Chain A
Amino acid sequence: MSEAKATRRVTVANHTGLHIRPISLLAKLASQFRARIEVVKDRQRANAKSVLELLSLGGQPGEEFLLEAEGEDAEAAVEALARLFAQGFHEDEAQTAH
């Protein structure tokens, strides 16, 4: 039985980029899924459940990434993560302090 796969292209929409808070939200959300999820930029790959690996991608505002998931809930996982990217990690609601 082959594992379900899903991919989605996403853009860093919040204007401060992927600093620690957005990445913590991303990793926390990714950890709710069983699928193996990776965030890919060029030849760099990060496990979407690891804050340290995600930080190493250095997501500047406007940059594009590819989400790749593999596992029974792969489609739901990339859908949820893509939505978080599109919502700009809720930063506009929680603006001010850095």
Chain B
Amino acid sequence: MKFADFITPEAIQSDLKADDKEGVIREMVQALVEAGRIRAADYESIVKAILSREELGSTGIGRGVAVPHTKHPSVDRLVGSVAISREGVDFDALDGEKVNLFFLLISPQDRPGDHLRALENIARQLRDETFCRFLKQAKSAEDIRQLLEEADNNQFAS
């Protein structure tokens, strides 16, 4: 699976304003509403579902990266977005570090395989330190789009 298969380009954000976990999730889900990928009517329910998943254990997987996610009946295929926080946000990450790179995923109820393939792709690309650093330093949504495209075309290692 490639980034292009699940990341909504119009929802990419290079400068999140939120400074806490709930704020980041709200801002990213709102961007998906504005991009037309999810309905405004589902906004609150999706935010709540992602927050309750976080209560089971943080999705801050280390190295300044978090993957907040949920299943939700309103989507019929995997919907994702990417965002960067300049300051970094306390996300209760496993390694205790602040998080500044977020991948948000909303999956259909019955497709755990796609969720795993998206996680695999995100993690495999981020194992390349150059890609990870470039992404965190991206100045605009357009820069992020380009980096994801380069990663999809195997222009970073592995």
Chain A residues packing against B (C-beta within 8 Å): 15-21, 24, 27-28, 50-60, 94, 97-98
Q: Which of B52, B61, B69, B113 contacts A51 (CB 8 A)?
A: B61
* B56→A56 contact, CB < 8 A: no
Asked whether, in the complex, the Cβ of B62 is within 8 Å of the Cβ of A51, the reply is yes
| Cβ-neighbour of B53 out of A17, A53, A97 (below 8 A) | A97
Contact sample, A vs B, 22 pairs, CB 8 Å cutoff: A16-B112, A17-B112, A17-B116, A19-B112, A20-B57, A20-B59, A20-B69, A21-B57, A51-B62, A51-B94, A52-B61, A52-B126, A53-B123, A55-B61, A55-B119, A56-B120, A57-B120, A58-B116, A58-B117, A58-B120, A60-B113, A98-B70
Cβ–Cβ < 8 Å partners of B123 in chain A: 52-56
Residue numbers in B under 8 Å from A57 (CB-CB):
120
From A24, A28, A50, A56, name the one whose CB has the most chain B CB atoms within 10 angstroms.
A56
A97 touches B113 (CB 8 A): no
Partner of A27 from the list B53, B65, B94 (CB cut-off 8 Å) is B94
A16's closest neighbor in chain B, by CB?
B112
Structural contact, B116 and A98, CB atoms closer than 8 A: no
Is A19 within 8 A of B119, CB to CB?
A: yes
- Are A53 and B67 touching (Cβ within 8 A)? no
Residue in A24, A50, A59, A94 whose beta carbon sits within 8 Å of that of B116 in the complex: A59
A56→B124 contact, CB < 8 A: yes
Chain B 108-122 interface mask (CB, 8 Å, partner A; 1/0):
000011011101101
- Residue B21 lies at the interface, judged by CB distance under 8 Å to chain A: no
Q: 1/0 contact trace for B130-151 toward A, CB 8 Å?
A: 0000000000000000000000
Residues of chain A contacted by B115 (CB below 8 angstroms) = 19
Alpha-carbon separation in the docked complex, A44 to B93 (Å): 25
Known: A20-B59, A55-B61. A60 touches B94 (CB 8 A): no
